[in-house]
Amino acid sequence: MINNEFPQTAERILKAALMGLAKWTNEHVSLDDYLDQDVSPELRPPVSSMLFEYFRNKALVDRIVDSKCARVPKPRYQRLLKMTTTQCFFQSGIRAESAVNVAVDLARRNYGKSASGFINGVLRNILRTGLEDYQKETVGNPLSRFPEILQKRWKQAFSSKELQNMSTALTHEAPLLFV
């Protein structure tokens, strides 16, 4: 039996994450404010997980997407590529191929056939390469997942051992605690 509700839920989650990233980028709205004010309670956990996972791995995700685009895509395409790449590599609630399908369908309906072809091509290319190849670049540089401005500040402020420990802690999902 096929769950027909899944694609709609997955698309709602992706749309909400895209809107949050757009508001953060364009309107400088904090993620917490966006989640509190604009996201329905049932979508808040998966949307917050996706957004925070993206920011936890922002430098790496941005590098992955940028490496597969010959030119800089429109901002709305960039956001879709980055959120879907985050889902594919750093989320366990959806299979990578399903995440790509949801993104391509969303692109087709919202941006047209040409855009959906572009989104499909870039995302399938990213999946073919796999995360391991991108992570090989980070060996020996525990901060490579983080923006360069943070890397510079942290290198000045912390020892190599502290940087390694911080990097490990920051790149893993925080444990879920019920209080």
Give the domain ranges of the chain: 5-137, 140-171
Q: Taking the chain (179 residues) in consecutive chunks of 10 residues, what is each chunk's mean pLDDT?
A: 60 95 94 94 94 88 91 95 95 91 96 95 92 68 71 84 77 62
Phi, psi (rounded to 5 degrees) for 165: -65, -45
pLDDT at 25: 92
- Select the CATH number that applies to the domain covering 5-137 from these four: 1.10.1040.10, 3.40.190.10, 1.10.760.10, 1.10.940.10: 1.10.940.10
2: amino acid identity, one letter: I
pLDDT at 99: 94
What pTM value is reported for the model?
Answer: 0.79
pLDDT at 60: 86
Alpha-carbon distance of 112 to 148, in angstroms, equals 35
pLDDT at 175: 65
Query: Tokens 């670049």, residue?
Result: 137
pLDDT at 1: 40
Give the number of other CB atoms < 10 A from CB of residue 79.
21
